[in-house]
């Protein structure tokens, strides 16, 4: 048993790392680190993070403005008839256009309606009875 240990130890002592092998091991370690960092570790590029943040901000704004649109619908004196008309429309795009045309998606202080707010508002109005 001592001879095997000596042989292994002797082999270990004789092993020499070449500069080329060291370089390729370092390259492989970097590649593995990058692969696992970006695929499993949650790393991302700054541009990807910015895009994600912009989308989250847009979604948050629409979620906060859509109830205002619904409130403006509720203030419309003909809201019952207009809700029936809205529910008769078959496509979501046409519903959003209808909401924009009624002016419900135009926020106070603004002159133009927002397309995304109109679409979300139309979805919320479709849930009303």
Question: What are the structural domain ranges in the chain?
Answer: 2-39, 46-126
| Per-residue confidence (pLDDT) for residue 6, from 0 to 100 | 62
| Per-residue confidence (pLDDT) for residue 128, from 0 to 100 | 85
Measure the N-to-C terminal CA separation of the chain; round to a whole number of Å: 86
pLDDT, block means (10 residues), the chain with 129 residues: 65 78 93 94 93 95 94 93 93 94 92 93 90
**Cα(55)–Cα(105) distance, integer angstroms:** 20
| Per-residue confidence (pLDDT) for residue 8, from 0 to 100 | 79
Could you give the C-alpha distances from 39 to 30, 32, 42, 53, 119, in angstroms and in order?
14, 10, 7, 19, 34
| Per-residue confidence (pLDDT) for residue 60, from 0 to 100 | 95
| Per-residue confidence (pLDDT) for residue 17, from 0 to 100 | 78
| Per-residue confidence (pLDDT) for residue 4, from 0 to 100 | 59
């Amino acid at each position: 048993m001592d001879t095997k240990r000596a042989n292994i130890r002797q082999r270990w002592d004789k092993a020499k790392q070449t500069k080329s092998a060291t370089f390729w091991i370092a390259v492989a370690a970097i590649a593995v680190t990058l692969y696992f960092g970006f695929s499993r570790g949650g790393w991302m590029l700054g541009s990807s993070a910015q895009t994600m943040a912009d989308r989250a901000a847009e979604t948050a704004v629409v979620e906060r403005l859509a109830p205002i649109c619904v409130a403006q619908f509720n203030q419309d004196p003909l809201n019952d008839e207009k809700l029936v008309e809205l529910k008769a429309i078959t496509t979501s795009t046409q519903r959003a256009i209808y909401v924009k045309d009624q002016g419900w998606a135009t926020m106070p202080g603004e002159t133009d309606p927002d397309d995304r707010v109109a679409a979300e508002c139309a979805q919320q109005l479709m849930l009303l009875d």
